[in-house]
Amino acid sequence: MKTHARASALALPALLAILAPMTAAEASIVLNNGESVNLAALLAPTSDRQFIVGDKRFTFDSFGSDVFDPANFNVIAFVSQNPNQYGLYNIGFDLVGPFGDGTPGSTDLHEMNLQYTVEVLPEYYAMGVRLCDVGLTFNGSAGGTGSFSRVDETVFDLDTNQFLGQLSAFDLAGPPRVTDLNEHVDFCEVFGGPGYRAFEVNKDLKFFAATAASYSTASFVRQEFSQVPAPGAIALLGTAGLLASRRRR
């Protein structure tokens, strides 16, 4: 995600201290940066399908695939190394595992669909934290005429059900080869609004190796979210100790 984008999340040490009493009651999985949960465990009937990273709660509403076993995939918490211009961090998750077309040369498309929501936890929304943008990163690779590896996703405002936009990351073998493994959209800039409480994301991963000598693979997809403080919220967040110290360059 671009470093100059309007973005925010809460400083991790202060955030975790505040979250501790709340998360026990909610029984959601809390993941620190780099910690993981198995996708099959997250989707289990006894699970609420929720996990928290920083100030965001993610809920995996549905998963669909005829070829990919969720037990082979992990969800890893992501917190950006450096704060943005507001002194706040980007937050998201990596979906990691053996993506690809396991039967190259067949006419089968290997596909996975994941629908989930991301929301700012109520305490931090009340302090002025707002979602603004979505970042998508993908390490897909494809080889052989007609082969491709791609992720497409649609984003909605969860509260109004308004369609906001689409993102795509892909490697299309061609010819000619076309590759774009990163995309970022700031919906506050697109629509000129003050930010959002929650997004709904429908993510579709597709892999196709056209011939027996072709390939279509990937090992991770990163979803990254950042925010902007609502008008007047900088002082409130600073008073709460949730802003990271800014380093002089």
**Mind listing the pLDDT tens digit for each residue in 173-232?**
999 999 999 999 999 999 998 899 999 999 999 999 999 999 999 999 999 998 878 777
Is the torsion defined by CA of 19, 5, 82, 205 positive or negative? positive
Give residue 85's pLDDT: 80
Each residue's pLDDT tens digit, 89-125: 899 999 999 999 999 999 999 999 999 999 999 999 9
Q: Are 19 and 91 contacting, i.e. CB atoms less than 8 angstroms apart?
A: no
| In the predicted structure, residue 15 carries a pLDDT above the cut 90 | no
Per-domain residue ranges of the chain: 12-97+110-138+154-166+181-202+219-239
Give residue 245's pLDDT: 55
* DSSP assignment string, 10-44: --HHHHHHHHHHHHHHHT-EE--TT-EEEHHHHTS
What is the average per-residue pLDDT within 13-41? 68
Question: What is the number of H-type helices and E-type strands within the chain?
Answer: 5, 15
Each residue's pLDDT tens digit, 129-185: 999 999 999 999 999 999 999 999 999 999 999 999 999 999 999 999 999 999 999
List of residues 6+ apart from 43 with CB closer than 8 A: 49, 60, 63, 70
Give residue 239's pLDDT: 62
HSE-CB for 229 with a 13 A CA cutoff: 18
What angle is formed at CA 42 by the lines to CA 137 and CA 219, rounded to 5 degrees? 30
Give residue 236's pLDDT: 62
pTM, 2 dp: 0.85
| In the predicted structure, residue 26 carries a pLDDT above the cut 70 | no
pLDDT-derived band at 237, boundaries 50, 70, 90: low
Least confident of 15-19, 40-44, 55-59, 232-236: 15-19
